[in-house]
């Protein structure tokens, strides 16, 4: 990224993903994640990926997973849910910020 980005979620067309039974979400990408994940080296492309996810009740956006080289941060804008973590179930609600470290200890569902 080589410029300041100003975005409003109301101006972003979400990508709807509903490919598997328990997983469904609407993804609002502020930065293009392909620029990060398809870069040839860590010094190319975006260093930060910013996206908002809206999940229907009872759905998850991904199965249990973790990242090996980057942290992941979640800000819960509305609603409530539970995350499955290596340490057990973590109840979350609007206003919570969740910071997941890189590696297996940062895994969530």
The range of the structural domain enclosing residue 72 comes to: 64-109
User: Which band of pLDDT confidence, cut at 50, 70 and 90, is reported for residue 27?
Assistant: very high
Same-domain status, 68 and 105: yes
Beta pairing class for 97-100 and 72-75 = antiparallel
Same-domain status, 47 and 84: no
Residue 1 resides in a domain: no
Domain boundary among 59, 74, 89: 59
Same-domain status, 73 and 100: yes
Q: What whole-number percentage of the chain has pLDDT above 70?
A: 84
Give residue 69's pLDDT: 82
Residue 37 resides in a domain: yes
- Using one digit for the tens of pLDDT, what is the confidence trace for 36-82? 555 555 555 556 788 999 999 989 888 999 988 888 899 999 999 99
Residue 105 resides in a domain: yes
Same-domain status, 46 and 71: no
User: Which band of pLDDT confidence, cut at 50, 70 and 90, is reported for residue 4?
Assistant: confident
Whether pTM > 0.85 for this model: the answer is: no
Q: How far apart are CA 98 and CA 59, in angstroms?
A: 18
Return the higher-pLDDT residue of 29 and 46. Answer: 29
Give residue 43's pLDDT: 57
User: Number of structural domains, the chain?
Assistant: 2
Same-domain status, 69 and 98: yes
Q: What average pLDDT does range 3-28 have in this prediction?
A: 91
Contact 96, 76 (CB under 8 A): yes
Closest CA to 28 of 45, 20, 43, 16: 16
Answer yes or no: is pLDDT of 1 > 80. no
Residue 33 resides in a domain: yes
């Amino acid at each position: 990224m080589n410029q300041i980005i100003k975005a409003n979620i109301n101006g972003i067309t979400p990508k709807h993903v509903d490919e598997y039974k328990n997983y469904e979400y609407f993804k609002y990408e502020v930065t293009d994640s392909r620029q990060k994940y398809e870069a040839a080296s860590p010094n190319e492309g975006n260093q930060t990926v910013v996206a908002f996810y809206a999940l229907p009740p009872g759905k998850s956006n991904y199965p249990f997973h973790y990242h090996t080289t980057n942290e992941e941060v979640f800000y819960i804008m509305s609603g409530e849910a539970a995350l499955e973590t290596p340490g057990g179930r973590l109840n979350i609600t609007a206003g919570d910020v969740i910071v997941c470290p890189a590696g297996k200890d940062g895994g969530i569902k």
